[in-house]
């Protein structure tokens, strides 16, 4: 079924818009997956802030070139769909790998791109083991709060030591006057 020129331009524009907001993407081959499986994957990826789009290879390649993304031609062969990360590449990669475990025969991770670097499937697996953006933020907040907590503990200890010394002094002097 032929696609009209207007529809092709519309798809290239749609891909370009997605690429402008993406921090990276992973190209997959979905040969043999049902629509229900694809929708399930879309829902799971949506929880990580990612999207999953069945792309037309030649049109997607045009959008990639227009947006200065480098992708090897062999990655865009066959029936491909692309997962686009919106800041949470590790979360998206983990979701894709979890999905792949359940659909080993029909779902293939071909590669991806992040920060201008072309990624192999093994590099995508390594990225999936990194902490997510939210986990990194909480770790950073903990690192920032930890010295402050220690300082508060030291100041509280010093204050209580002064109070204890003053209390002992008052006790000693009041005992001496009473005798």
**Domain ranges (residues) in the chain:** 5-130, 131-179
Q: What percent of the chain has pLDDT over 90?
A: 49
What's the longest Cα–Cα distance across the chain? 109
Whether pLDDT at 163 is above 50:
yes
CA gyration radius for the chain?
28
- The C-alpha torsion from 167 through 172 and 177 to 179, rounded to 10°, is 130
3-state helix, strand and coil shares in percent for the chain, rounded to the nearest 5: 60, 15, 25
For 26-75, the pLDDT digits (tens) are 999 988 889 999 999 999 999 989 999 999 999 999 999 999 888 888 89
Residue pair 45/83 in contact (Cβ under 8 Å)? The answer is: yes
Q: Could you tell me which of 36, 82, 42, 30 has the C-alpha nearest to residue 61?
A: 82
DSSP codes of every residue in 83-140 = EEESS-HHHHHHHHHHHHHHTTTT-EEEEEEETTEEE-HHHHHHHHTSPPHHHHHHHH
Residue pair 117/30 in contact (Cβ under 8 Å)? The answer is: no
Homologous superfamily, domain 5-130: Ribosomal protein L10, N-terminal RNA-binding domain (3.30.70.1730)
Angle at 78 between CA 26 and CA 27, to 5 degrees: 0
Residue 151 pLDDT? 67
Residue pair 107/28 in contact (Cβ under 8 Å)? The answer is: yes
Residue 179 pLDDT? 47
Residue 116 pLDDT? 83
What is the token pair recorded at 27? 């190209």
Q: What is the pTM of this model?
A: 0.73
Residue pair 112/124 in contact (Cβ under 8 Å)? The answer is: yes
Whether pLDDT at 113 is above 90:
yes
Angle at 50 between CA 113 and CA 91, to 5 degrees: 75
């Amino acid at each position: 079924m032929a696609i009209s020129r207007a529809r092709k331009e519309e798809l290239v524009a749609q891909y370009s818009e997605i690429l402008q907001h993406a921090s990276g993407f992973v190209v997959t081959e979905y040969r043999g997956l049902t629509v229900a499986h694809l929708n399930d994957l879309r829902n799971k990826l949506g929880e990580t802030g990612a999207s999953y789009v069945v792309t037309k290879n030649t049109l997607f390649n045009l959008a990639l070139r227009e947006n200065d993304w480098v992708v090897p031609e062999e990655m865009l062969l066959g029936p491909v769909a692309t997962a686009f990360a919106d800041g949470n590449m590790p979360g998206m990669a983990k979701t894709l790998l979890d999905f792949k475990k359940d659909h080993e025969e029909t779902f293939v991770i071909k590669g991806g791109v992040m920060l201008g670097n072309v990624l192999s499937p093994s590099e995508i697996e390594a990225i999936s083991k990194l902490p997510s953006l939210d986990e990194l933020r909480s770790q950073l907040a903990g690192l920032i709060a930890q010295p402050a907590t220690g300082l508060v503990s030291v100041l509280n200890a010093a204050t209580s030591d002064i109070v204890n010394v003053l209390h002992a002094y008052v006790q000693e002097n009041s005992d001496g006057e009473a005798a």
